[in-house]
Amino acid sequence: SDELKFITGALALSEKNLSQIMTAMDDVFGLYPDELLDFELMRRIYESGYTRIPVFQRPVDRHTGRPLYSAIDPSRRIGITRNRSRNVSNPDDDASSDTTPSKYGGTVALPLQVLGLLSTKDLILVDPEDAMPVEQLLAHCGRDLLTVWFDTPVNTMLTDFLVGNSHLAFVQRVNTEDPSTDPFYELIGIVTLEDVLEELIQSEIVDE
Ligand code: ADP
């Protein structure tokens, strides 16, 4: 019955944590501040179907401090390759020119930082002809940011969403995987009220 489903869902909320229900960074549709809000990017945002779009700082090389635009850009983790801008796809920015190999073979990049959150409503007054940089829009329209720990119980998150003014949170952990670097805060996903409610009723919510 629906009642039984609801109760078992509610019980499970205190046992599950956010890392089990979040949308992982790989699947997050986000933007970089230097991308231009031209027709192509606006169309991609529209086609993503999301109403809230995080803006991430472009990862920088840990040693040189230079932005990473390369093919092995760790920003792939935020699905940014699905919304490549002219900046990202610039063939001059190849892997050899702007990366520093670490002794573990990969590029050593500083972890992703979130700069802000845009609502697609903010795009209503944007003229694609102007090709305004994302950061300019963010300066006018940025939303509050909420960051939470990956092991927060789902029921705690539900309460926080209901009393707070943001219904989207960034999920973080402390990454201790690389013994050659200091532990650092790492964003590993996002969670929205919908994810929590979905867990509560244990069934898919059909978006209207
Ligand atoms: P929306 O209002 O954009 O439809 P919801 O809050 O209803 O978003 O969430 C629907 C699902 O989409 C959830 O699983 C949520 O984690 C995910 N989601 C929300 N925004 C994004 C985004 N920018 N990129 C990837 N997934 C997202």
Write the pLDDT tens digit of every residue in 25-46: 888 999 989 899 999 999 999 9
What is the mean pLDDT of the segment spanning 134-157?
Answer: 90
Predicted model pTM: 0.78
Burial of 69: CB neighbours in 10 Å, binned 0-12, 13-18, 19+: buried
Distance in angstroms (rounded) separating the CA atoms of residues 32 and 167: 22
ipTM attached to this prediction:
0.98
Residue 191 Cα: closest atom of ligand 1: 16
For the Cβ of 114 lying below 6 angstroms from any atom of ligand 1, the answer is no
Provide the pLDDT for residue 160: 93
For residue 192, report the distance from its CA to the centre of ligand 1, in Å.
7
Residue-wise pLDDT tens digits, 68-92: 654 333 333 344 433 333 333 344 4
For the Cβ of 61 lying below 6 angstroms from any atom of ligand 1, the answer is no
Contacts of 134 (CB under 8 A, 6+ apart): 31, 32, 33, 34, 35, 36, 37, 55, 118
Confidence of residue 111 (pLDDT cuts 50, 70, 90): low
Residue 22 Cα: closest atom of ligand 1: 16
Contacts of 42 (CB under 8 A, 6+ apart): 123, 126, 128
